[in-house]
Amino acid sequence: MSETPGEPVATERELTMSRAMVEAISSEMAADEEVFVMGEDVADYGGIFDSTQGLLEEFGRDRVMDVPISETGFIGAGVGAAQAGMRPIVELMFADFFGVAMDQIYNNMAKNTYMSGRSVSVPMVLTTAVGGTYNDAAQHSQTLYGTFAHLPGMKVVVPSNAYDAKGLMHNAIRDDDPVVFMFHKRLMGLGWMPAPEGPKTPVPEDDYTIPFGEADVKREGTDATVVTLGLHVHRAMEAADELVDEGIDTEVIDLRTLVPLDAETVLESVRKTGRLVVVDEDYRSYGVTGEIVARAAEDALADLEAVERVAMPDVPIPYARPLEEEVNPGVEDIAAAVRATR
Amino acid sequence: MPSVTELREIYEEMVTARRYEKRLQEEYLEGKQPAFDISAGPIPGELHLAAGHEASAAGVCQHLRDADTVTAPHRPHHIAISKGVDLNRMTAEIFGRRTGLSKGKGGHMHLFDPDVNFACSGIIAQGCPPAVGAAMAAKKRNTDEVAVAFLGEGAIDQGGFFESLNLASVRNLPVVFVVEDNDWAISMPKERVTDVSNGAQRAEGHDMHGVRVDRDDAVAVYEAAAEAVGRARDGNGPTILEVQVHRRMGHFMGDAEGYRPDEDVEAAEMRDSVERLAADLRKHGVDDDELTAIRDRASARVEEAIEFAKEQPEPDPEEAYEDVFTNPPAGATGGED
């Protein structure tokens, strides 16, 4: 298997994030009979968010399995198959649906390695769609990044673009630990939910991995550090472009994985800029923004001059357009937070 | 057998629901042309329409009172209409307006109207346990109120359903589980994912009653529901009532149904419960003029609701921070900046 970590082969070919994800899954399935996919509507439909598009045709129903609406059953079955040595990729259609199956996720999938003293491992990928911006209301719009990252034992991956999605997915499938792969619906390149500029990128045809725990500095700057992930990487980049006209040079960091967390890249940036803005589409309290600020406070306190958090306020996500736009951090909210650190 | 008056009422509810979904489809798609964008137009977000499902709700709810509880899933409009939910405020909610049932916070999958004890959950089968709870409350208070949980056939594989069955049965609670079998769990045909073709068979393992109405027939639903609701009201325990319905508009708006064979779509079209009931009414001497009058009245009511909704103001952005708690804690919530 060819592999060029960190060094993509030059390519002009652009893929949507969903195509890039599927390409990695397809390649791993072709290489390893133990890899299989199961979830609701993953076969004929190809995943509601195109996350398994075309895999049924390529691998057939035994390896691309539609399953009943029984998340406790099939996610738990994924844990069991993984412990038996297979490498299941299990889709939870919306992260919001974790509630009906959380016991399998956090009491079994996440803990069995530790509880067994590492005599058992759970090489499973739990893929799940996250995020709002399309008025799907409180039960279908959450990211829940903090919830999954908080509970020990799961690696948590949040790609922001096609290139990263492919490399991170290869790594996720090959990883011997459970990986929660959280893809933002708005980034997938769906025909019915237009993506912003950015997530569709050149993607090498060859396999490559992106190691977990390596944040990506999307834009270098000297005046302020914006740390974010997922959809909000693109919003932060837009805010940074806007701030250039005001003479503010913003550094934008895409965390890419929450567990493991690349705190060092964040700290290096904060030591340089002294001003930290953390942007998250998850709830504000007890989440990603608080964690990043705490890391900076613990290890770069002397360099910190100002801190801002931009996140979903602590309300369930409302339906009506003006209400959701109010709570989901926008480009202007990010720009204002950066200005406020000055 | 329902009286002719009841048949007329059932028919009116069904044509209201059918018309409602047709008009919502039109309104939803407006603003999503030429390229479909789920977040654009006067109704954003997902929209799960129930055309073809009307017979179950209309036939069951004919036996219910305002004080009885109904829980509905992500496809709730026809059930809400038959339960007597305020159509104007429900429509305002679907349009995301401040005067909607939930002030624009809930949307179409999360309709709540406590005046008629109607509630939703957009998560599969998760309306079942709250229905059991409403039945528990009715029993504890010695009322003869009942609770009805509506769910799709895909939901009968979900743990929340099984656990509800056991709890309802072991406590002998006045609850009816109405399974609307439209043959499809989004793209997954029932035979691929569910071990029984008759969902009412799930009752056997829980020592409770189960019955299936295997045609799209409101009269047959009415009769089966008379028994199931009556059993609950009389203190004789829960029932699963499965009703064959059909899906005329895809899982959600924008679902191209590429997975669904043409023959299945055509077969569904042929099974029109509204037309079947119209034929029954004609046999009972209700002439076409009267049927037309009922349809016109239903259409007028739907138009009025949509007009009402469109005239309503949108919520102010700041209202997003209200309503998290019934008794908001003093001081900042921590979420506002």
Are residues B187 and A43, on separate chains, in Cβ contact within 8 Å? yes
Inform me whether the C-beta atom of residue B334 falls under 8 Å from chain A C-beta atoms: yes
pLDDT of amino acid A121: 97
Query: Do A286 and A183 sit in the same domain of this protein?
Result: no
Angle between helices A17-31 and A162-174 (to 10 degrees): 30
Name which of B2, B63, B56 is nearest B215 in CA terms. Answer: B56
| pLDDT for B41 | 95
Residue B101 has pLDDT above 60, yes or no: yes
**Residue B13 and residue B62: Cα distance in Å, rounded?**
10
- Read off the CATH number of the domain in which A246 is found: 3.40.50.920
pLDDT(A7) > 80: no
Round to the nearest angstrom and report the end-to-end CA distance of chain B.
Answer: 61
Nearest Cβ partner for B106 among A41, A134, A137? A137
CB atoms within 10 A of CB B15: 23
Which residues 226-285 of chain A have a CB within 8 Å of chain B? 283-285
B-facing residues of A in 181-220 (CB < 8 A) are 191-194
Of A155, A170, A202, which residue sits at a domain end? A202
3-state secondary structure chain B: CCCHHHHHHHHHHHHHHHHHHHHHHHHHHCCCCCCCCCCCCCCCCCCCCCCCCHHHHHHHHCCCCCCCEEEECCCCHHHHHHHCCCHHHHHHHHCCCCCCCCCCCCCCCCCCEHHHCEEECCCCCCCHHHHHHHHHHHHHCCCCCCEEEEEEHHHHHCHHHHHHHHHHHHCCCCEEEEEEECCEECCEEHHHHCCCCCHHHHHHHHCCEEEEECCCCHHHHHHHHHHHHHHHHCCCCCEEEEEECCCCCCCCCCCCCCCCCHHHHHHHHHCCHHHHHHHHHHHCCCCHHHHHHHHHHHHHHHHHHHHHHHHCCCCCHHHHHCCCCCCCCCCCCCCCC
Place of tokens 């491992």: A121
**Which range has the worst mean pLDDT, A192-206, B61-75, B251-265, B319-333?**
B319-333
Answer yes or no: is pLDDT of A306 > 70: yes
- Per-residue model confidence (pLDDT) at position A281: 98
Mean pLDDT confidence for A20-43: 98
Q: Extract the tokens encoding A130.
A: 């996250």
**A108 in any annotated domain:** yes
Does residue A209 form part of some domain?
no
Q: How far apart are CA A236 and CA A239, in angstroms?
A: 5
Residue in A40, A139, A320 closest to B315 by CB: A320
In a domain, A2, yes or no: no
B179-221 pLDDT per residue, tens: 999 999 999 999 999 999 999 999 999 999 999 999 999 999 9
Query: What does the pLDDT look like over A265-282, one tens digit per residue?
Result: 999 999 999 999 999 999
pLDDT tens digit string along B23-32?
A: 999 999 998 8
* Tokens 């997954």 found at: B188
| Among the ranges given (A5-19, B138-152, B310-324), the one the predictor scored with the smallest mean pLDDT | A5-19
Q: What is the pLDDT of residue B31?
A: 85
**Cβ contacts of residue B249 below 8 Å, gap of 6+?**
B21, B25, B49, B51, B52
A149 shares its domain with A239: no
Say if residue A4's pLDDT is above 70. no
Kindly state whether residues A179 and A316 are assigned to the same domain: no
Q: Omega before A260 cis (within 30°)?
A: yes
Residues A192 and A268 grouped into a single domain: no
Q: Is A322 on the interface with B (CB under 8 A)?
A: yes
Domain boundary residue among A202, A236, A266?
Answer: A202
* Structural domain for A241, as ranges: 216-340
Residue B334 pLDDT greater than 70, yes or no: no
**Active centre residues of A (catalytic):** 140
Closest residue of B to A140, CA-based? B122
- The pLDDT value recorded for residue A10 is 60
pLDDT of residue A6: 52
Q: Which of B100, B125, B259 sits opposite A44 (nearest CB)?
A: B259
Q: B332: pLDDT confidence band, cut at 50, 70 and 90?
A: low
Q: What is the ipTM of this complex?
A: 0.93
Do A183 and A285 lie in a common domain? no
> How confident is the model at residue B337, as a pLDDT?
47
Asked if A233 and A136 sit in the same domain, the reply is no
Q: Given an 8 Å threshold on Cβ–Cβ distance, is A139 in contact with B314?
A: no
Check residue B34 and give its pLDDT. 82
Q: pLDDT tens digits, residue range B31-90?
A: 888 889 999 999 999 999 999 999 999 999 999 999 999 999 999 999 999 999 999 999
Residues of B in contact with A341 (CB under 8 A): none
By the 8 A CB rule, do B243 and B221 touch?
A: yes
Band of the pLDDT at B331, cuts 50, 70, 90?
low
Q: Say whether both A78 and A184 belong to one domain.
A: yes
Burial of A269 (0-12, 13-18, 19+ CB in 10 A): buried
Are A317 and A285 within 8 A, CB to CB? Answer: no
**CB distance A326–B320 less than 8 Å?**
yes
Residues 291-320 of A with CB under 8 A from B: 312-316, 318-320
Residue A314 and residue B335: Cβ atoms within 8 Å? yes
Chosen domain end from A202, A224, A256: A202
For residue A96, is it within any domain?
yes
Burial of A159 (0-12, 13-18, 19+ CB in 10 A): buried
Contact assignment for A327 to B320 by CB distance below 8 Å: yes
Residues A228 and A164 in one domain: no
Provide the domain count of chain A.
2
Residues on chain B touching A56 (C-beta within 8 angstroms): none
pLDDT of residue A226 exceeding 60, the answer is yes
* Domain boundaries of chain B, sorted by first residue: 4-256+302-313
Query: At a CB cut-off of 8 Å and minimum separation 6, what does A64 contact?
Result: A36, A37, A38, A42, A43, A52, A55, A56
What's the pTM value of the predicted model, to 2 decimals? Answer: 0.95
- Chain B contacts of A314, Cβ < 8 Å? 324, 333-335
Could you name the CATH architecture of B4-256+302-313? 3-Layer(aba) Sandwich (3.40)
Cα–Cα distance for residue pair A52/A57, rounded to 1 Å: 10
Suggest the residue from B123, B184, B318 to mutate for an interface test with chain A (most A CBs closer than 10 A).
B123
Q: How far is B67 from chain A (nearest CA, A)?
A: 27
In a domain, A1, yes or no: no
Nearest CA in chain B to A309: B337
pLDDT at A2 over 50: no
Q: Do A228 and A194 share a structural domain? A: no
pLDDT at B264 over 70: yes
Residue A239 located in a structural domain: yes
Portion of chain A with pLDDT greater than 90, in percent = 96
* Sign of torsion over alpha carbons A161, A165, A168, A172: positive
Tell me the pLDDT tens digit for each residue of A240-268.
Answer: 999 999 999 999 999 999 999 999 999 99
Secondary structure in 3-state letters for chain A: CCCCCCCCCCCCCEECHHHHHHHHHHHHHHHCCCEEEEECCCCCCCCCCCCCCCHHHHHCCCCEEECCCCHHHHHHHHHHHHHCCCEEEEEEEEHHHHHHHHHHHHHHHCCHHHHCCCCCCCCCEEEEEECCCCCCCCCCCCCCHHHHHHCCCCEEECCCCHHHHHHHHHHHHHCCCCEEEEEEHHHCCECCECCCCCCCEECCCCCCCCCCCCCEEEECCCCEEEEECCHHHHHHHHHHHHHHCCCCCEEEEECCEEECCCHHHHHHHHHHHCEEEEEEEEECCCCHHHHHHHHHHHHHHHHCCEEEEEEECCCCCCCCHHHHHHHCCCHHHHHHHHHHCC
Residue A3 has pLDDT above 60, yes or no: no
The pLDDT value given to residue A278:
98
Question: Considering only CB atoms, which chain B residues are within 8 Å of A318?
Answer: 104-105, 320
Do residue A222 and residue A304 come from a single domain?
Answer: yes
Residues A141 and A20 in one domain: yes
Domain-embedded: residue A208:
no
Together in a domain, A139 and A23 = yes
